[in-house]
Structure 1
Amino acid sequence: MDKNDWPQLYELDQDPAVMQYLTRGVPSSLDQIKSRSVPQMLTYRNAEKGWGLWQITKKTKQCFYRMDSSQADAFF
């Protein structure tokens, strides 16, 4: 993910099922996403090593895919 992916982060942050674990259900504002979340996300990025946060997007439909909460444990 990069600085241009703020719309997807904003969409994800508007989901109460996601935010209940991060902010006790309080969604982030668009300004918070752009000024705080995106810059923080970029600190985890190292293009040379392939590090960073990843997303899955189906290009033919421009759909942003996200896990449902039952799949979250698969990554830890």
Structure 2
Amino acid sequence: MQRYLWQQAGGRRHVYDTERDIAAPGRALVALCGEVVTPTVDDITGLWLDRTCLACDREVRVRLGFPADEIPPVPALEGAK
């Protein structure tokens, strides 16, 4: 299994660490942005139409070693929320 996975929950698509959490309906997990979210059945099985959590997107890029030019700066994230 991949270390980091995306999961829709709490109105956004978040990234979580599979070594710490398991995504399941009704089970809280800590997203890489630091938010604690709880996926619903619809979040697990339904369409993922919620917006991407930009803080999670940035953090997973940092952890996976993306090139610096592919990691948005934090201030840019604040204006896009």
- TM bucket normalised to smaller: under 0.3
Q: Which has the higher helix share?
A: 1
Q: Which structure's residues are more often strand, by fraction? A: 2
